[in-house]
Structure 1
Amino acid sequence: MGIIERYISRELLLPFFVVTIILIGLFVSFSVARFLTGAVAETLGAIAMFKLVGLKTIIALEVLVPIAFYVAVIHGLSRMNRDQEINVLRSVGYGDNQIIRTVFIIALPIAVLSGVLSIYARPWAYAESYVMNAQAEAELNTDRFQPGRFYGSEKSGRVIFIRGKDDLEKRMEGIFHYIRTAENREIIVSREGYQQPMTQEQWPYIELLDGKIYRLGYDAARDSTVQFEKMIYFNENDQAQNYRRKAASTQSLWNSEQPQEIAELQWRLSRPAATILLALIAVSFTRTAPRKDKADRTFIVAALVFAVYYNLSGLAKTWVEQGVVAAVPGIWWVYGLLLMVVVLRLPELRLFLSARK
């Protein structure tokens, strides 16, 4: 790599690292604030909460890294253009083709990093956070409730009371659980219950022993009582299924024919392409005259372009999940549009592609 390439690399990578750190800081601050306003901090404790924030940050990096490099390319090349450095490079024979090639070379390792984060780090982080979220959100959870107190929620229509508990053995005594639904009201009374260990494959559940279930319909004729020696109480929901898909290995998704898993796989594989295409689009936004008012408009247009791309990519993933769009073209039509924008806005690349033909 020559002197000019190293100089351009420095001008792009320095703001890339700065923007990445700023975005991570903002994301961490938002996540901590959100968890502190909920029940997660009280349920899991401060150390576990910060671990969960770290896992969420790893998940977000697959999006934050392309954004940071997109902003870095616009900032770095715009600064060089404003200071007439681009014109100086052109005067010594270092033209726009070389600039595009340099940006592409710098984007390649960042695209690989984005792909590694998406294909390997993201599923692992989802799997770990899946277990921790399950522990925090479980309705019957020995870590969540203190004995001798009633816990209720108007949103879920539940009231829970336990007479005593043993944290070491994960055992609860004297369990009262009231559930209100649109069809009936249900009261579960149990002598004791044991919380089973949670794994990445199994949503948390409680074994209730020696109890009764009272189902009270809004019509008295529908009342019933069920006595049990042992009952498995699950607390699984749609979010759990969504987590499991996001925590699945890329290899298992590759062999799946389910639309939701196909969409997840294509999303992971698209991260490197998104990083490179966004970087090339960013180059096209630095071709304006070196005036402050035009530079300000450039950043506004660049922000709008990214917003449109981000919303389209999310919409494309949703369409594949719902079966509106088949696996082919899947979500790839969005990146086809990005490639068209790149070719249209970079005449040098268009000439290069024509020459290759």
Structure 2
Amino acid sequence: MIVFRYLSREVMLTLSAVSAVLLVIIMSGRFIKYLAQAASGLLDPGSLFLIMGFRLPGFLQLILPLGLFLGILLSYGRLYLESEMTVLSATGMSQQRLFFITLFPATLVAVVVAWLSLSLAPQGANQFQLLLNKQDALTEFDTLEPGRFQALRDGTRVTYTERMTDDRIHLGGVFISQKNVSSDNKDRGISVLVAEKGRQEIRPDGNRYLILDNGYRYDGNPGQADYRVIKYDEYGVLLAKPDVSDEVTDRDAMPTRSLIGSDDIRLRAELQWRISLPLLVFIVTLMAVPLSRVNPRQGRFLKLLPAILLYMAYLTVLIAARGALDKGKIPAALGLWWVHGIFLAIGLGMLYWEPLRLKMASRRSALEVARG
């Protein structure tokens, strides 16, 4: 029991440290991406941390299996390097027994990954999709920042304002450049609006207008001198009404219960993917235990790179099989299970190969002694 607690604690501590580092790296990259979108006006800066919170379960469901895999390699590798595993082996600790001990922390991780994959991650993806729908419904003036040129999503309009009140209603020093395109996609030049100030008004019928005061409008084609200039005291522009959609179409945002029993091949592939992640935990544990065995003279990191390559091959083949299943290239009955079967066989081979090799070597030695 003491050995069981000791080995489990070593694995869990290393797992926590490795997973935390991986989570920080991945979330930092995602945060920079969302920050760039917020800077370009595609996202509301105030919702960045909310978005990261919704995306967190989806990150963790992929990080934890890798964290466990590396945690076993690093923690057991240290024990081999410091000859602690040699002492345990002398007391009867075989590779198979070590694997069954490691199954306890692996089962805890698998339960957490199953909870994330089957429940929490789809809920987070659903809320993330709804938040993006609301972001798409914002007008460019809802995300406009003073002192910065901002392009509209389709690139047909660029807006700039020097000043803006906190309630985002009154603007000062307004510049708007808009590309005019006809219904048959023919270029009809550019319209430029400049104004000393502007304001947003919402009429009783629900329509929103941008009202510009004391400015000019320039219409024409770049490179030509036939510009038309209009001076105005007040100019109104009708803004598109926000269209908030509550519909979530992404399959990774669908609850698991709605995937069960579906005849849609894409939904069946999504269900198999969610079930595959907890299975992945047990199979990588099976592979990590024999891979963690190192010679103290060789160092603990000798097998680390091949082990990571093996893990990446497993995950890459699993993702490729998911894509092939989506396209109907793989029978739904075969699904993703054949990938798990292949790497399960690899893990069993690595786990039992060393004892089998030693047993065969012992028999050969005994035969040589008998003949001698």
Task: Give me the TM-score of the superposition, normalised by structure 2.
Answer: 0.70
> Which of 231, 254, 264 lines up with 2:270 in the alignment?
264
- Map 1:255-334 to 2 at 5 A: 255-293=261-299, 295-334=300-339
CA distance in 1, matches of 2:344, 2:182: 51
Give the 5 Å matches for 1:1-357: 2-39=1-38, 44-138=43-137, 140=139, 143-145=142-144, 151-152=150-151, 156-159=154-157, 184=185, 244-293=250-299, 295-347=300-352
1:193-219, CA deviations, whole angstroms, 9 ceiling, x for partnerless residues? 99xxxxxxxxxxxx9799xxxxxxxxx
Matched length: 311
Q: 1:308-338: per-residue Cα shift (whole Å, max 9, x none)? A: 1121111111111111112121122211111
Whether contact under 8 Å (1:55, 1:128) holds in the other structure is: yes
How far, CA to CA, are the matches of 1:58 and 1:141 in structure 2?
31
- Distance in 1 (CA, whole Å) between partners of 2:139 and 2:45 is 21
In structure 1, how many angstroms separate the alpha carbons of the residues matched to 2:262 and 2:180?
37
Question: What RMSD, in angstroms, separates the aligned Cα atoms of the two structures?
Answer: 4.2
Q: C-alpha deviations, 1:228-284, integer Å up to 9, x for none? A: xxx988699xxx97x621111101011322222111111111111001111111112
Q: CA deviation at 1:145?
A: 4.5
Aligned partners of 2:44 and 2:135 also within 8 Å: no
**Change in CA separation of 1:96 and 1:317 when aligned onto 2, cut-off 3 Å:** same
Larger radius of gyration: 2
Q: SS at the partner of 2:314?
A: helix
CA shift for structure 1 position 43 = 5.8
Alpha carbons of structure 1 residues 327 and 233: separation in structure 2 relative to 1, 3 Å: farther
Q: Return the alpha-carbon distance in structure 2 between the equivalents of residues 182 and 5 of structure 1.
A: 73
Q: Contact (CA 8 Å) 1:317, 1:331: kept in 2 or not?
A: yes
Identity among equivalent positions (%) equals 24
Cα offset, 1:95, TM superposition: 2.0
What is the CA distance between 1:16 and its match in structure 2?
0.6
Q: Cα gap change, 1:49/1:345 in structure 2, threshold over 3 Å: closer, same or farther?
A: same
Quickly say closer, same or farther: Cα 1:156–1:46, change in 2 above 3 A. Answer: closer
Paired residues of 1:123 and 1:247 also in contact (CA < 8 A): yes
Alignment CA distance shift 1:193-1:63 (3 Å): farther
Per the TM alignment, residue 116 of structure 1 is displaced from its structure 2 partner at its CA by 0.4
Tell me if the contact between 2:95 and 2:289 (Cα under 8 Å) persists in the aligned partners: no
| Counterpart contact for 1:40–1:49, Cα < 8 Å | no
Kindly indicate whether the alpha-carbon contact (under 8 Å) linking 2:37 and 2:43 is maintained by their aligned counterparts in 1.
no
Q: Contact 1:62 / 1:118 at 8 angstroms: preserved in 2?
A: yes
Q: d(CA) in 1 for partners of 2:241 and 2:136?
A: 17
What amino acid sits opposite 2:121 in the alignment? R
Q: Distance in 2 between matches of 1:340 and 1:183?
A: 60
Residue 213 of structure 1 corresponds to none
Query: C-alpha separation between the residues in 2 aligned to 1:125 and 1:50?
Result: 13
Per the alignment, residue 362 of structure 2 pairs with none
Report the equivalent of 2:236. none
Amino acid at match of 2:268: I
User: 1:305 and 1:233 mapped to 2: Cα distance?
Assistant: 49
How far apart, CA to CA, are the structure 1 residues paired with 2:76 and 2:144? 56
2:342 partner amino acid:
L
Task: Return closer, same or farther for 1:339/1:256 CA change in 2, 3 Å cut-off.
Answer: same
Question: Does structure 2 retain, via aligned residues, the 8 Å contact 1:136–1:144?
Answer: no
The 8 Å contact of residues 123 and 249 in structure 1, kept in 2 or not, is answered as: yes
Amino acid at match of 1:158: T
Distance change in 2, residues 1:95/1:181 (3 Å): farther
Offset from partner CA, 1:130-189 (integer Å, 9 cap, x none): 122223344746623479x98545x834337799x9x99x9xxxx9986869962599xx
CA distance in structure 1 between the partners assigned to 2:355 and 2:265 by the alignment: 35
1:316 and 1:193 mapped to 2: Cα distance?
A: 53
What corresponds to 1:219 in structure 2?
none
